[in-house]
Amino acid sequence: MSLTPLALMKEGSRGIVASIAGGRGAHRNLEDLGIVAGKEIRVIRNSGGAVLVAVNGTRLVVGRGLAMKVMVDAEQKN
């Protein structure tokens, strides 16, 4: 398993949220957005700032700092 910070994932890639680094505030903010361990996440746009993702069929914008705390088990294309 290779974990990648959400902020470093390429557009169009997807994976499963494996863990969230940071304190209670980061966990609470991400949980409020529906980004929790075990959820599938897809990167729609990542141009070096905030990251536009899809979770549970909803599009969300996650700030770069917060996105660096989300560790994703990214699907590898063979």
The domain locations on the chain are 3-74
Encoding tokens for residue 74? 């990214």
Q: Which CATH class is domain 3-74?
A: mainly beta
Q: What is the pLDDT of residue 48?
A: 87
Q: How far apart are CA 72 and CA 4, in angstroms?
A: 5
Q: How far apart are CA 3 and CA 6, in angstroms?
A: 9
Q: What is the pLDDT along the chain (78 residues), one digit of tens a residue?
A: 689 999 999 999 999 999 999 899 999 999 999 999 999 999 999 998 999 999 999 999 999 999 999 999 987 554
The DSSP secondary structure of the chain, one letter per residue, reads --EEEGGGPPTT-EEEEEEE-S-HHHHHHHHHHT--TT-EEEEEEESSSSEEEEETTEEEEE-HHHHTTEEEEEPPP-
Tell me the pTM.
Answer: 0.90
